Amino acid sequence: MTKKIGSLAAGKVAQRLTRAAAFDAAQIRTQNAPADLAERSEPMVYPTVNVYCEKIVNNMAEKFRRFSGTVQMALEVRHSQDRLAGLQEALEGSVDSVMQALDTNRGDWSDGMYYAGGFQVAFAAVKHGGRNYLQTAKVTFEIGVSIS
């Protein structure tokens, strides 16, 4: 059951990101993979967003449901370019697009899932990778789940 919940939630997030026109389907992956492995597996289209489930908590908030809790989701936004200048600003623009997509999609996501709003963003330092320089930001948020 937990595998299905995590995969279903990741799919719903990816769908909302593409529907909000923030990113196209080639830029979104529903997997938790390090940047260096992902780059070796197939060509990357930057910026790219990895969508994955970090944690599933069944706290039985509704006692007679099979699952009643939260799913903690992570969106790892990666941006790469050949020059260091402007990399931070480009990444921040991509993260702003993610935050705007989340803000406009508050509410019922069907299949017993809902997003009430709220998120955290953590920026990592620039490192070598991608097209020469690579920087990532991780957006985390919770989706409420209630399944009979």
What is d(CA 59, CA 68) in angstroms, rounded to the nearest whole number? 6
Question: Number of structural domains, the chain?
Answer: 1
pLDDT (0 to 100) of residue 2: 56
pLDDT (0 to 100) of residue 37: 80
How far is C-alpha 2 from the geometric centre of its chain's CA atoms?
Answer: 18
CATH number of the domain where residue 127 is located: 3.30.70.1700
- List pLDDT tens digits, range 24-60: 999 999 988 877 787 777 788 899 999 999 999 999 9
Identity of the residue numbered 92: E
Lowest mean pLDDT among 2-6, 133-137, 144-148: 2-6
- List pLDDT tens digits, range 70-86: 999 999 999 999 999 99
- List pLDDT tens digits, range 89-136: 999 999 999 999 999 999 999 999 999 999 999 999 999 988 889 999
* Helices 87-104/2-19 angle, 10° precision: 110
Task: Print the domain residue range for 89.
Answer: 2-147
